[in-house]
Structure 1
Amino acid sequence: MTTVRVAGVGMIPFCKPGKHEPYRAMAAKAIKLALTDAGLDAKSIGQAYGAYIYGDSTCAQHAFYDVIQSGIPIINVNNNCSSGSTALFLARQAVLSGQVDCALAFGFEEMQPGALGSHWTDRESPFERIEPVLKQFNAPQGPIALRAFGAAGRHYMDKYHVGADIFAKVAEKSRRHALQNPYSMFSTPLTYQQVLDDKLIYDNYLTRLMACPPTCGAAATIVCSEQFARQNGITSKVKIIAQAMATDTEQSWQDPIFAVGKGMSQQAAQRVYDDAGIDPNDIDVIELHDCFTPNEVITYEALGLCPEGGAAELIANGDNTYGGKFVIGASGGLMSKGHPIGATGLAQCTELTWHLRGQAGNRQVDNATLALQHNVGLGGAVVVTLYGV
């Protein structure tokens, strides 16, 4: 086999910390929605992969047991912000290998207010490898994610002689898309001037509205073999055509942009394009990892959507939205839909599956046949996935 079928997807609306149910309840709801979407019983699942980063070991079992306690292998996945896509990567591999005919990837997160920080201050941090790069480029102090992505944005502006207005325009675009998404956290319009004028949170350019909020939520995806789909009456025609994961190389530490995943993204994306035999220009709709709007801009180039330094022109031409070359972040992205870390990659999968099925409502991308997903975690890992019908 070279492809697997996306049999069912499900997610719950994301919310701010303090307004959420326990992770167990959120995850169980998402799994049940995916099962209903696929028309399957929970006994059909041969393996499950549960993604999260804030929680004790075996939280995945605790959540899955609210759906069924069937004795199957359940693997807990923690790969930073790419955890959800990593769970999907593993579920797909399990099906491709022939070990199981049907596998579940699900993700969830209960997050706390404020910037992300380490819960383990008594031991080495995996982010210590990023520190020399940030010091070399004189990045101001701050929480690690804010510092890393903020330094990448500053380096991009300096390297290509552009202003922070391009990041603000991306934030405005994302919010405009989110207004059509009932699953989005935010439902009020936003102008790019509001983004620029909002509270500064880093390095005299990055405002609060250029950063995604801490979020709670859950999402799930069921994948299966083509034979299983035929035997069980799976109606979804969406397939994972190609998928690749990449991790850091020595190149990652050459500058702040590479330190937040540009090289990993390029490597994974090129492998996907080569395996599928497509060009980036063939893609209709994209969900990428816009945890900070500078990272969306950087990722345009990493995915080959425009030339090096060409993001400003792509934005100015409207080639990142409806009516342009690509529709990027039709859901509103992490910026506006929210970013419950373990759930994010599977929420991206859910959104793209809906577009390929023609089920995305008012935000539907017309005649979508190819969809690309990009999910990055510092430390690090990138997963790029191509879906098609």
Structure 2
Amino acid sequence: MSRKVYVIGVGMTKFEKPGRREGWDYPQMAKESGTNALRDAGIPYDLVEQAYVGYVYGESTSGQRAVYELGLTGIPVVNVNNNCSTGSTALYLAAQAIRGGLAGCTLALGFEKMQPGSLGSTYDDREQPLANHLQALAEISEVLFPPAPWMFGAAGREHMQRYGTTAEHFAKIGYKNHKHSVHNPYSQFREEYSLDDILGSRMIYDPLTKLQCSPTSDGSGAAILASEDFVAEHGLAGQAVEIVGQAMTTDFASTFDGTAKNIIGYDMNVRAARAVYDQSGLGPEDFQVIELHDCFSANELLLYEALGLCAEGEAAKLVDDEQTTYGGKWVVNPSGGLISKGHPLGATGLAQCAELTWQLRGTADRRQVDGVSAALQHNIGLGGAAVVTAYQRAER
């Protein structure tokens, strides 16, 4: 029998430009985020029964080295790597252990210590995980390196050609997310830019300018999950947030159907979202706040359609009508999103979880969305994995 899963504590570090904080290596990042999560939960580390630790760039057993900063209790520690969805994959596994009755309290933690500049491969003497995706895209689009802006930019161009979306629509998403991050003390960037600033910044891959692209970042996030019995035993119902739906998908045959949007995971996103809606009994209209994977503004726009916020081809209208910011139907990425908050790959999914937990508790300070009863999270890694999670306050 599937058991209920609750988030009882969250914590994160400020996301920083790589190397900005001297002496801040991944063990220090993990200690900071993990300690914050344990303090938020109000429990000691020795009550945690399993830990799932995510990172993309690091040596084997870096997960153990990271959580050993919190304690040496001999628990199973599982190292997780799933590209940009690593943090939410750790969350998925930690929740699965609770859901399956294998543990009463688990830790999901993610971190990243990154190199400045565009993402590159670590090993050049073997097949690259995205080789098939890049080959498929090369058959329908001009080739550009580094690959990430090319892949998401090509999907943006495809949307423009099919539906008349303009460069300004993508820029408005960058404008929105930078504006949101002004009130986030954990955000790497807290500057507000004008729409002209967004459009006029350096072109990375037309239509994507620099201020519509997520930066490389250092940082960490963590979440403590617990069963219903654990919550009751420790009197944590007042702070608990329930995971009411969660799904992970990987690539389908449709990924390689000759469309740029599916190469960057559109169909994975659609199917993961539908599974979560079926599990939770909630639909897109039931959520007030959403944290989604805006690695590039083009991806956020495509996700409006993949998550069912609007019909296919209608995302630009949501942007024009300001339906995804304060005063609209949803507030998407109140944290500033990856574009402005930053994107330390292993930490991103757990930072999203933290933001939504704060929103559901009503403790998000100046970022707080009015009347939050349900929240939706989306995180994706190419090559590929998409993770979608739905949350509600425990008392509901």
TM-score range, shorter chain: over 0.9
1:140 Cα deviation after fit: 2.9
1:229 and 2:236 matched: no
Q: Does 1:261 align with 2:296?
A: no
Q: Is 1:13–2:17 an aligned residue pair? A: no
> Matched residues in 1 for 2:64 and 2:240: separation?
30
> How far apart, CA to CA, are the structure 2 residues paired with 1:316 and 1:91?
39
**Does structure 2 conserve the Cα–Cα contact (< 8 Å) formed by 1:2 and 1:241?**
no
Aligned to 2:132: 129
Which aligned pairs between 1:230-309 and structure 2 lie closer than 5 A?
Answer: 230-234=232-236, 235-254=238-257, 255-309=259-313
Cα deviation for residue 172 of structure 1 reads 0.3
Q: Structure 1 residue 34 and structure 2 residue 37: aligned? A: yes
Q: Percent identity?
A: 49
Q: Does 1:50 align with 2:43?
A: no
- 1:2, distance to aligned residue in structure 2 (A): 4.0
TM-aligned CA deviation for residue 245 of structure 1: 0.3
Q: When the two structures are superposed, what TM-score results if normalisation uses the length of structure 1?
A: 0.98
Superposition RMSD on alpha carbons, in Å? 0.9
Deviations along 1:308-364, whole A, 9 cap, x unmatched?
Answer: 111110011110001111000000000110110000000000000000000000110
1:373–1:386 CA contact under 8 A, matched in 2 = yes
For 1:147 and 1:205, how far apart are their aligned partners in 2?
10
Match of 1:191 among 182, 190, 194: 194
Residue in 1 that maps onto 2:316: 312
| Of 140, 143, 146, the match for 1:140 | 143
Q: Does residue 89 of structure 1 match 2:92?
A: yes
Could you tell me whether the CA contact under 8 Å between 2:208 and 2:297 is conserved in 1? no
Q: Deviations over 1:211-269 (max 9, x none)?
A: 01100000000000010011112231311001000010110112111111100000000
In structure 1, runs of 5+ residues without a counterpart are none
Long gaps (5+) in structure 2? none
Tell me, yes or no, if structure 1 residue 343 matches structure 2 residue 347. Answer: yes
Contact preservation (8 Å) 2:231, 2:240: no
What secondary structure sits across from 1:130 in the alignment? helix
Compared CA separation, residues 159 and 133, structure 1 to 2 (3 A): farther
Residues 129-176 of structure 1 deviation map (CA, whole Å, 9 limit, x = unaligned): 112321122233211212211211111111112211111000000011
SS in 2 for 1:40: coil
2:216 corresponds to which residue?
214
Aligned residues of 1:3 and 1:96 also touching (Cα < 8 A): yes
- Aligned letter for 1:210? Q
**Are 1:34 and 1:221, in contact at CA under 8 Å, matched by a contact in 2?**
yes
Structure 1 runs, 4 residues or longer, greater than 6 Å off = none
Measured in 2, the distance between the counterparts of 1:206 and 1:4 equals 39
SS of the residue aligned with 1:105?
strand
Verify the 8 A CA contact 2:3 2:100 in the aligned structure 1: no
- Measure, in 1, the Cα distance between the counterparts of 2:105 and 2:240: 15
The answer as to 2:157 corresponding to 1:149 is no
CA distance in 1 between counterparts of 2:175 and 2:142 reads 26
Matched letter for residue 214 of structure 1:
T
2:118 aligned partner: 115
Counterpart amino acid of 1:300? Answer: Y
Aligned partner letter, 1:344: T
Instruction: Map Cα deviations across residues 106-149 of structure 1 (whole Å, 9 max, x no partner).
Output: 00000111111111110001101112321122233211212211
Contact 1:214–1:339 at 8 Å: present in 2 too? yes
Match status 1:158 vs 2:182: no
Q: Do the aligned residues in 2 keep the contact of 1:115 with 1:146 (CA within 8 Å)?
A: no
* 1:261–1:382 Cα contact (<8 Å) kept: yes
Q: Is the 8 A contact 1:3 1:242 kept in 2?
A: no
Confirm or deny: 8 A CA contact 1:178 1:331 kept in the other structure: yes
2:177–2:337: 8 Å Cα contact kept in structure 1?
A: yes
- Residue type at the aligned position of 2:65: H
Work out which of the residue numbers 320, 325, 350 in structure 2 matches 1:321.
Answer: 325
